[in-house]
A = this chain, B = another copy of it.
Amino acid sequence: MANYSEQIKLAHGGGGSLMQELIHREIVPALDNTSLRQLADSARLEAPGSTLAFTTDSFVVQPLFFPGGDIGTLAVCGTVNDLAARGAKPLALSLAMIIEEGLPLEILQKILHSVGESARQANVNVVTGDTKVVERGQAGQIFLTTSGVGIMRDGLDFTPDRIEPDDVLIINGSIGDHGIAVMSVREHLQFASPVQSDVAPLAEMVQIVLDACGNKIKCMKDPTRGGLASNLNEMAQLVGFILEEEKLPIRKEVLAACDMLGLDVLTVANEGKMIFAVAPDAAQKTLDALHSHPLGRNADVIGRADQRAGLVRLNTHIGGQRILDTPYGEELPRIC
């Protein structure tokens, strides 16, 4: 287990085991309640007449603009996708901005434009907000925090404890694109065709899958910080998973960049991907539903659940097997 630290480190924000430790040792005990303890992508709330999903995320990505998106796109899609992972249809978003004094108005305008565009694409409104300004050098130009409220489907939840051995793992497309798109700007990497972030709002695509397959969909998760490795480990509560390396959809530029940067693509963040754990008899129907949507066109089966609870394994190209651990911290700081 990770060493416990008396000061906050960058790695505490990395979506890995050090962050899990901070959450379990400090945050959950201080704020203790049943909903929080679930630690799902969004919380479930009972309101008179409906069940709601509620989620929040802060965005501190550097640089603010990258191929395929910017901090504004990310802030909308990240929150929409956390609602989608709980099967919820987005009802409304909030947007809180912490802006650094001296930020050119033009940059703020571009970011607000992206927020508006992404919200329209996700068919949801930003209905409330807040603006704070802090002194120069105190907020990496701009930080955004979005929260979202969604309406959950009657009687359907998608928590990891529903996954059974032999359930099939499906993802809606290639992995690692977002992290590498951001890193390529930061590290001045050149590609023949530049890697674009996959940032996209997935709620509509998820609703199509749920309309087709209902409770045959056992669990969903959007593998952002910590990538597939971290998120599959979080899903591996009562089951384990076996992934097939040759089935993993990875662009060759992404793989090349990972090699160059010494990164494991399985720990790199995605912002437009959803992992589905699906009953075996609904796998084809899930794929069909995904293929009918532009954001699911490249969906494929990448592995399956087995009985070795808590263990995520990868069958490699060359016939070996390796264990995919939760990464410790963050190999890629400020990726979202």
CA distance A10 to B102 in the complex (A): 8
CA distance A134 to B12 in the complex (A): 10
In the complex, the answer to whether B10 meets A149 with C-beta atoms within 8 Å is: no
* Residues 116 to 174 of chain A near chain B (Cβ within 8 Å): 116, 119, 125-135, 137-140, 143, 145, 147, 149, 151
Copies of this chain in the oligomer = 2
Q: A112 within 8 Å of B by Cβ?
A: yes
CA distance A60 to B130 in the complex (A): 12
Q: A294 within 8 Å of B by Cβ?
A: no
Q: A26 within 8 Å of B by Cβ?
A: yes
Say which residue of B47, B57, B116 sits within 8 Å of A31 (CB atoms).
B116
Given contacts A31-B119, A133-B12, A140-B134, contact A36 B98 (CB under 8 A): no
CA distance A115 to B140 in the complex (A): 25
A336: nearest chain-B partner, CB-CB: B132
Q: A24 within 8 Å of B by Cβ?
A: no
Q: Contact string, A1-31, partner B, CB cutoff 8 A, digits 1/0?
A: 0000111111111100001001100110011
Residue positions of A touching B, CB distance < 8 A: 5-14, 19, 22-23, 26-27, 30-33, 35-36, 40, 42-43, 45, 47-50, 52, 54-60, 91-92, 94-106, 108-109, 112-113, 115-116, 119, 125-135, 137-140, 143, 145, 147, 149, 151, 333-334
Closest 4 CB pairs of A and B: A49-B49, A13-B133, A147-B147, A56-B94
